Amino acid sequence: MVNPRGATYLARLTPPGKSAIATLSLFGPSAWEIIFKVFKPRNKKPLPISPVPGDVFLGRLGQGHGDEVILGCKTISPMHLEIHPHGGTQVVSMLLEFLQAEGATLCSWQDFITHTTTDPLQSMALILLNQATTIEPSKILLDQFHGAFRLWLDSFLVSITQGDCENALALLVDIAKYSFLSSRLVDPWKVVLAGPTNAGKSSLMNILAGYQRSIVSEVPGTTRDVLWLETAIEGWPISFADTAGLRNSSDPLENAGMLMGTNAMEQADLVLWVQDCSVAEIQPPVLFNNKKVVEVINKIDLDGFNASRLRKDSMGISALSGLGVDALLSKIISELVSPIPKPLQAVAFHPLLKSALEKSKEFVDKGRLLEVPKLWVSFQKNQN
Ligand SMILES: Nc1nc2c(ncn2[C@@H]2O[C@H](COP(=O)(O)OP(=O)(O)O)[C@@H](O)[C@H]2O)c(=O)[nH]1
Ligand SMILES: [Mg+2]
């Protein structure tokens, strides 16, 4: 049963703030009873004793004159109604209070989804979908909402029940290729721009932002804070950090900036090691030894730039003219998002799923198949 306590839940599904229309949702055994008692139909024709899905009514709701609302019936078993009042913050608060006084239980939209969806995987995907900021993670989450992971899980658990270790392992190995996405569908990858002062990190940051955001200066050491810029590249969420150049400085402010740079570095999924092609090469510091690093050779627009300076994997760019920046962006994505899932691919889209997969693999490896289904109990569909 979705709603074991028999509560009738109420939530505002549209975000707080002013808008033309808001959406409130009412779900549970008393939903129609509550509405039947307090809704004033516009055409004076009383509401039916029981609505049918798809019914729409125009009327007023709330204390006194109340607000003009549209009432819709989504399902009747269980009873699920939607109310569309005007979207002013006060109108919405007034209606929420009014409906609570009539017996509805107010909850957040996330809790509402959890209470009203029979499939926990679906509600997890829906909640994340709301938080996704770019198109590629949204597509993946939509596929999982429509059952891609559920399908995978069902066939995996069938293999387990049949004792077919070989197939179970093959399924685990296949899906594990995409586990790196489990924490990256909502939170962006972090890419840190690092390198000697004056190499052009802030200029590169500005060209990535499409506007002046970092301070660009001929005086070395101008970038004193870590500046984060969240953006989308090829539909993936990426956060870039511009750091102070790494050098010894007697300026305490600048040293503080460098320190923050090293903290940002710890979080980095990828470091762009930016260098000026017109000065001698500097190796990335040992600090980056355990990081993915892409070497970026900047200022290739300068006369006298020698292409032999570029190594096989380094990227030549001009942060001034934009030359090579598109290729750099593609390189960033290929370093971070690999492999890119095909449509309908099952993906462990939440860290909890990733850890259940890893534990499943441990048990399958040890032949302890009976332990595996227990790991997935909390993700099973609720039976009505
Ligand atoms: N010619 C040329 N100059 C650049 C390029 N990128 C940056 N600069 C110049 O190099 C200097 C230092 O740039 P900045 O972005 O502040 O370097 P940062 O210290 O690494 O942040 C500035 O005068 C920029 O205008 C480039 O691609 N070509
Ligand atoms: Mg700078």
pLDDT confidence of 282, banded at 50, 70, 90? confident
pLDDT, one tens digit per residue, over 321-377 is 999 999 999 999 999 999 999 999 999 999 999 999 999 999 999 999 999 999 999
**Average pLDDT value for residue range 35-45:** 92
pLDDT of residue 250: 58
pLDDT of residue 228: 83
303 lines ligand 1 (CB under 6 A): no
pLDDT, one tens digit per residue, over 108-119 is 999 998 888 889
Identity of the amino acid at 176: A
161 lines ligand 1 (CB under 6 A): no
**Residue 3: pLDDT above 60?**
no
pLDDT of residue 1: 42
- Atom 2 of ligand 1, nearest CA residue: 299
pLDDT of residue 242: 87
Structural domains in the chain?
Answer: 9-116 (3.30.1360.120), 120-178+342-379 (no CATH), 189-336 (3.40.50.300)
Neighbours of ion ligand 2 (CB under 5 A): 201-202, 223
Beta bridge partners of 68: 60
Ligand 1 pocket test, candidate residues 204, 205, 216, most atoms within 8 A of CB? 216
Whole-number Å distance between alpha carbons of 191 and 230:
10
In the three-class reduction of DSSP (H, G, I as helix; E, B as strand; rest coil), residue 36 is classed as: helix
**Residue 288: pLDDT above 90?**
no
Ligand 1 pocket test, candidate residues 192, 198, 272, most atoms within 8 A of CB? 198
153 lines ligand 1 (CB under 6 A): no
pLDDT of residue 222: 53
**Residue 170: pLDDT above 60?**
yes
Whole-number Å distance between alpha carbons of 231 and 345:
25
**Average pLDDT value for residue range 8-34:** 94
370 lines ligand 1 (CB under 6 A): no
Q: How many residues does the chain have?
A: 384
CA of 232 to the centre of ligand 2 (A): 22
For residue 316, which ligand has an atom nearest its CA?
1
Out of 217-226, 228-237, 265-274, least confident range:
217-226
224 lines ligand 1 (CB under 6 A): no
pLDDT confidence of 296, banded at 50, 70, 90? very high
- Mean pLDDT, the chain, as a whole number? 89
CB 376 within 8 A of CB 204: no
- Atom 23 of ligand 1, nearest CA residue: 218
pLDDT, one tens digit per residue, over 131-164 is 999 999 999 999 999 999 999 999 999 999 999 9
Ligand 1 pocket test, candidate residues 193, 203, 240, most atoms within 8 A of CB? 203
Q: What percent of the chain has pLDDT over 70?
A: 89
203 lines ligand 1 (CB under 6 A): yes
pLDDT of residue 216: 57
Tell me the H-state helices in the chain: 31-38, 89-101, 109-116, 120-131, 135-145, 148-161, 165-176, 201-209, 252-267, 325-336, 351-365, 372-375
* Tokens standing for residue 187: 């939170």
pLDDT of residue 330: 94
CB 182 within 8 A of CB 349: yes
pLDDT, one tens digit per residue, over 41-85 is 998 889 999 999 999 999 999 888 889 999 999 999 999 999 999
pLDDT, one tens digit per residue, over 171-199 is 999 999 999 999 999 999 999 998 888 99
118 lines ligand 1 (CB under 6 A): no
**Average pLDDT value for residue range 119-130:** 94
**Residue 35: pLDDT above 80?**
yes
